[in-house]
């Protein structure tokens, strides 16, 4: 029988968790622990890191995991690299469940940058009103560009006030609507949206809103990863598990 370790923290991971539970497939959902109150799940949950590749290999072997599904955020590159290496070391089946990257459409005003450092550097210049749509992880990096007014949108209220000298904070949880994000950008006079290319539909509203309002977008491209099997629908992961079990993997 399959025993799945699902590396989660995304909407796709939660969708797959429900499907696994409905099928009666033994599975554990693992969170990195960055969200204070993760949504309730229909399968057992663990929270925290594994201690690198060696720790993940030990977990896979100790818990007799047969299938490793990486449904982490597209920018959780270190965890994804560790998952690839641990699966190879353990000889278990491994697949990524992710979202196709966003593609610019007619009317978009995107500028691409490679990473957070490049995004910070791109904000050199006169003061602007920036929607910093990155969650809470990288906010302090932008303190070197204090001339801007930043709009922050977090899932959870932070324990400490963000260090940016000129900012407003909105606590909200997606999925967001185009109408809501148009209103948010207008209310805060946003000139520029800065975000990661996370893909999917839950966070895409801000891009459509920026297009409708003619606002610029500074888009951080996804990190490069080693080659791996990739699927884009939770249902396809179930078919992959069935196929792997039929082959005795």
pLDDT digits (tens, 9 = 90+) for 121-154: 999 999 999 999 998 889 999 999 999 999 999 9
Sequence-distant (6+) residues with CB within 8 A of 225 are 77, 80, 81, 84
Which residue, 188, 132, 138, 159, is CA-closest to 180? 188
Which residue, 176, 172, 177, is CA-closest to 151? 172
Of residues 201 and 108, the one with the higher pLDDT is 108
Reported confidence tier of residue 248, pLDDT bands at 50, 70, 90: low
d(CA 63, CA 215): 49
Helix (H) or strand (E) holding 171: strand 167-171
Average pLDDT over residues 26-41: 81
Which residue, 222, 165, 174, 155, is CA-closest to 195? 222
Tell me the pLDDT tens digit for each residue of 157-194: 888 999 999 999 999 987 899 999 999 999 999 999 99
Is the C-alpha dihedral spanning 155, 160, 162, 168 positive or negative?
Answer: positive
Domain 3-100+225-246 sits in which CATH superfamily? NAD(P)-binding Rossmann-like Domain (3.40.50.720)
Q: What is the pTM of this model?
A: 0.86
d(CA 242, CA 2): 9
> 3-100+225-246 and 110-220: same fold?
yes
Domain ranges (residues) in the chain: 3-100+225-246, 110-220
| Beta strands at 129-133 and 110-113: parallel, antiparallel or unpaired | unpaired
CATH number of the structural domain 110-220: 3.40.50.720
- On average, the pLDDT of the chain sits at 94
Strands (E), 172-229: 192-196, 216-220
């Amino acid at each position: 029988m399959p025993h799945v370790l699902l590396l989660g923290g995304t909407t796709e991971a939660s969708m797959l968790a429900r499907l696994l539970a409905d099928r009666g497939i033994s599975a554990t959902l693992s969170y990195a622990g960055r969200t204070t109150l993760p949504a309730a799940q229909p399968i057992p949950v663990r929270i925290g890191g594994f201690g690198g590749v060696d720790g993940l290999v030990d977990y896979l072997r100790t818990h007799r995991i047969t299938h490793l599904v990486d449904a982490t955020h597209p920018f959780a590159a270190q965890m994804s690299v560790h998952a690839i290496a641990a699966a190879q070391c353990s000889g278990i089946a491994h697949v990524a469940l992710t979202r196709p990257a966003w593609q610019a459409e007619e009317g978009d005003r995107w500028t691409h940058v490679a990473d957070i450092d490049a995004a910070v550097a791109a904000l050199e210049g006169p003061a602007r009103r920036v929607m910093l749509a990155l969650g809470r992880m990288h906010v302090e990096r932008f303190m070197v560009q204090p001339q801007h007014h930043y709009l922050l949108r977090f899932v959870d209220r932070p324990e400490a006030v963000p260090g940016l000298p000129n900012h407003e904070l909105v606590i909200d949880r997606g999925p967001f609507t185009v109408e809501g994000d148009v209103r948010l950008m207008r209310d805060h006079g946003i000139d520029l949206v800065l975000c990661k290319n996370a893909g999917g539909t839950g966070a895409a509203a801000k891009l459509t809103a920026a297009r409708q309002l003619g606002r610029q977008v500074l888009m951080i491209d996804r990190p490069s990863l080693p080659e791996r099997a990739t699927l884009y629908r939770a249902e396809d992961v179930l078919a992959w598990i069935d196929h792997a079990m039929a082959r005795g993997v």
